[in-house]
Structure 1
Amino acid sequence: MSDFRRVDIGEQRPAAYKDLIALSSEVDKAAAAAGPDPLLVELLRIRTSQVNGCAFRLRMHTRDAPRKGESADRIAVLPGWEETGYFSETDRAALRLTGAIARVPDGHVSDEGFSAAAAVLTADRVSAVAWLATVMNAFDRVAITSRYSVSS
């Protein structure tokens, strides 16, 4: 066994982490202006962290979502969102695009996937969803790389 210790990259470069938080704040403002339901925004955050396998951010956002009014049922079925009737056409378009952005290793966001989202969402909403997923991917990767602790 080694004395290996994981570096908390957010603490190691606090200015960079502060900039990521500022970017997140700007994205939140853009999302609010674009009009997706604030509950959908929380679900998109949760879904991104589910795809990325980021327990730290999952715990954070699954605690935040009910406080903001999201139902336990929608949170519970989120991994199988395509198989349920809980989500509107707008929700589905946003969830599909978010999943495609989070799954970059599976390939780029396809033209078909992007155009399907654009057929339902306004350009402002497509942009808001894409930026939300992008920022969440960054936060997930900071937490995963630094091995942020998750315990009861």
Structure 2
Amino acid sequence: MKARMNYRSANPQALNAMLQLEKYVQESGLDKNLMELIKIRASQINGCAFCLDMHTKDARKLGETEQRIYLLNAWREAGFYTDAERAVLALTEAVTLISNGGVSDEIYANVREHFDEQQYVALIMAINTINAWNRIAISTGMTAPCEL
């Protein structure tokens, strides 16, 4: 499928702004595998085929197992995720679906059991960044596989 437009060439400044967000997230000190779980889960919720294709491949390159990737959309019922990962996945869902009630005190407290304030902000930035990438990809017609 062909994308509607090439947003990268249409507005390089917008791409540069997104790349700065991505750079911050990559340099935040968060675990790379955890970041891929965030990216995959948010992309599942948003229905972003382009990002799902990209981030499942990236997760595999980092050594993530097929089983954990396949069961990510059912993480609550699957016993393959740590308590810290579960807390982040709940946060990812709450932030991605922010209009469904926000981030509850319970989710916040659960995340804070595993991550300090600085890490919490980094997690929010990681979640917001992939949500922005998803919205850009979906809005410009990027699918998997995508030709620009």
Measure, in 1, the Cα distance between the counterparts of 2:84 and 2:100.
24
Q: Which residue of 2 aligns with 1:120?
A: 114
For 1:97, the equivalent position in structure 2 comes to 91
Structure 1 Cα separation of the partners of residues 143 and 67 of structure 2: 27
Name the SS for the 1:151 alignment partner: coil
Instruction: Map 1:28-39; keep pairs closer than 5 Å.
Output: 28-30=26-28, 32=29, 36-39=30-33
What letter is aligned with 2:71? Answer: V
Residue in 2 that maps onto 1:62: 56
Given that 1:47 and 1:95 are in contact with CA atoms closer than 8 Å, whether structure 2 keeps it comes out as yes
Mapped pair 1:52 → 2:34: no
The residue number in structure 2 matching 1:138 is 132
CA distance in 1, matches of 2:16, 2:126: 17
For each residue in 1:113-143, what CA deviation from the matched residue of structure 2 results, as whole angstroms up to 9, or x when unmatched?
A: 2222223322222122111000000000000
Contact 1:45 1:136 in 2 (8 A): yes
Structure with larger RCO (C-alpha < 8 A, sep 6+): 2
SS at match of 1:84: coil
**Structure 2 runs not aligned, ≥5 long:** none
1:78 aligned to 53, 72, 81, which one? 72
- The percent identity for this pair of structures is 34
Structure 1 runs of 4+ with >6 Å offset: none
Number of aligned residue pairs: 144
Give the structure-1-normalised TM-score.
Answer: 0.86
Aligned-pair RMSD on alpha carbons? Answer: 1.8
Deviations, residues 31-63 of structure 1 (Å, cap 9, x unaligned): x2xxx4321111111111111111100000001
CA contact (8 A) 1:8 1:146 kept: yes
CA distance in 1, matches of 2:96, 2:80: 22
